[in-house]
Homo-oligomer: A and B are copies of this chain.
């Protein structure tokens, strides 16, 4: 179709492509508004200028991002169609600055699709991250036992759902014993500013691995739609850090600012006790050490286009997993 709107060529390439996530889920970019250039245009209205040299767009976007001048990035919108297990949906929906239309289990029959973790992902509770997994998978035998139990639960759940809806019991009640691993789906619309915040939290290693998987695919989409914003987000948010008054104090005792650069102060050192005297708690010391440890490689959320499939492929899989023909929507 023809349009007179600003177009993001990278967005057009992936529009409507359905990217699989986890065993039955997906994310697709189904609509968008704006591009990197539109952020610049919105920022420039404050400066009272119309257009500028394109070569300066990158510098301006990085400046805005660095200094948290975020309102211009609210001018770009993304609309996604996504399917995810309900325990993931419950984390996702905590981000309030988005618009959502979710599949209704009161109105429609739920597809009997459940998320099953891979063997590598069924890990023990982390001792460090109090809410996450440790990186250590459980034994193969334990995984087999988990699989057996998941199957048993899902069998009874599906069977009960099938029976109850077959008996014409209210769907809003038939579904109450479906497990949290059941897939749901929604349209989800958000502006770039809020998307960057969401993705920062969701590609983070402290997020549950399953939602990270969604975050990574969506970050790949972001990279296509607004490549300069993506790059700035990687440099200032994902791979940047916040440092405290006490940490800046510590660093300024170790590093001298010269007229033309930075220099390690000869002989300067701060042991744990000296750092503690600056006001840093034990836990903050570990956090500071981590910030200064040699950097991991910069993450690259490049999409693998070869994995993309069509909406029809998913629609068919989902329709096939519904107990029986859904009833028609209201007039």
Contact = CB atoms under 8 A, between A and B. Distances in A.
B5 A31 contact: yes
A66 B285 CA distance: 13
A308 interface: no
Given A7-B3, A157-B179, A295 B132 contact: no
A250 B262 contact: yes
B246 A235 contact: yes
B244 A242 contact: no
A261 B251 contact: no
Complex copy number for this chain = 4
Interface in A221-262: 234-236, 238-252, 254-255, 257-258, 260-262
A310 interface: no
Given A6-B31, A31-B5, A245-B239, A142 B169 contact: yes
A239 B48 CA distance: 32
A300 to B, nearest CB: 13
A54 interface: no
Contacts of A239: 244-245, 248
Given A153-B160, A255-B264, A257-B289, A283 B240 contact: no
A315 B50 CA distance: 8
A130 interface: yes
Contacts of A301: none
Contacts of A272: 260-261
A262 B269 contact: yes
A interface bracket (residues with beta carbon within 8 Å of B): 35 or more
A2 interface: yes
B252 A254 contact: no
Contacts of A142: 167, 169
Contacts of A176: 85, 87, 115, 117, 179-181
A302 interface: no
Nearest to A33: B33
A170 B75 contact: no
Contacts of A274: 261
A330 B16 CA distance: 38
Contacts of A326: 48-49
A313 interface: no
A86 interface: yes
Interface string A268-310: 1111101100010111100111011111001000000000000
13 contacts: A46-B104, A66-B242, A87-B176, A99-B191, A106-B131, A122-B170, A123-B170, A138-B167, A179-B180, A254-B255, A257-B293, A262-B292, A283-B331
